């Protein structure tokens, strides 16, 4: 195998994200063949001894986990919440280092993908890949046409405009509760 960055080896072993692994390297907690490494160091996981806090890392080539989770309301889509709210990781128990792909709001429910496959996560979430996402939202009352037009033009999130979305009002569900669909075209910022 070709040598790869040590933080990728740690992430592929399911111990931490690449960012967390980079912090461990900065803290001097990571050794390759007995020597403390610096950020940017490379190693061959099939040949070199990579250790974190003295424990050898075992990488299972190609072993990746994929979980589809029906996220209930009342959970945040993150690995750790500084506010102490329950996270989707709490629902999984001991699943190793797995992380959510995308996010659903605290009060939202729906299908969520969690994985250890960083390349797949990047492909699905990074704006340059332009992966379309579809949402179905139930709202109380009739949606304001001006609000729908804003979604069609793209909205600002964290100071950046999202891509334009195809939005249409659906049919009435349970008396006056129309279903709105945001379909084919909503992309990450």
Query: Where would I find the beta strands (DSSP E) of 33-90?
Result: 35-36, 42-43, 50-52, 55-56, 66-71
How far, in Å, CA of 145 to CA of 161, rounded? 19
- Give the active site residue among 105, 117, 144, 158: 105
Q: Using an 8 Å Cβ cutoff, are 115 and 89 in contact?
A: no
Active site residue 46: no
How far, in Å, CA of 144 to CA of 158, rounded? 23
How far, in Å, CA of 58 to CA of 115, rounded? 18
Catalytic residues: 105
């Amino acid at each position: 195998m070709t040598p790869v960055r040590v933080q990728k080896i740690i992430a592929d072993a399911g111990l931490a994200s690449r960012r967390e692994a980079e912090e461990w390297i900065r803290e001097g907690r990571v050794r390759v063949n007995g020597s403390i490494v610096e950020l940017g160091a490379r190693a061959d996981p099939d040949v070199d001894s990579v250790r974190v806090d003295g424990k050898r890392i075992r990488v299972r080539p190609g072993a990746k986990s994929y979980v589809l989770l029906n996220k209930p309301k009342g959970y945040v889509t993150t690995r750790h919440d500084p506010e102490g709210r329950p996270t989707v990781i709490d629902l999984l128990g001991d699943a190793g280092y797995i992380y959510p792909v995308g996010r659903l709001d605290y009060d939202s429910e729906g299908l969520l993908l969690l994985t250890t496959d960083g390349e797949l996560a990047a492909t699905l979430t990074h704006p340059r890949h332009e992966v379309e996402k579809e949402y179905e939202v139930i709202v109380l009352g009739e949606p304001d046409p001006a609000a729908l037009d804003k979604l069609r033009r793209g909205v600002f999130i964290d100071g950046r405009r999202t891509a334009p979305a195809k939005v249409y009002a659906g049919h009435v569900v349970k008396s006056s509760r129309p279903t709105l669909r945001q379909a084919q075209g909503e992309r990450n910022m």
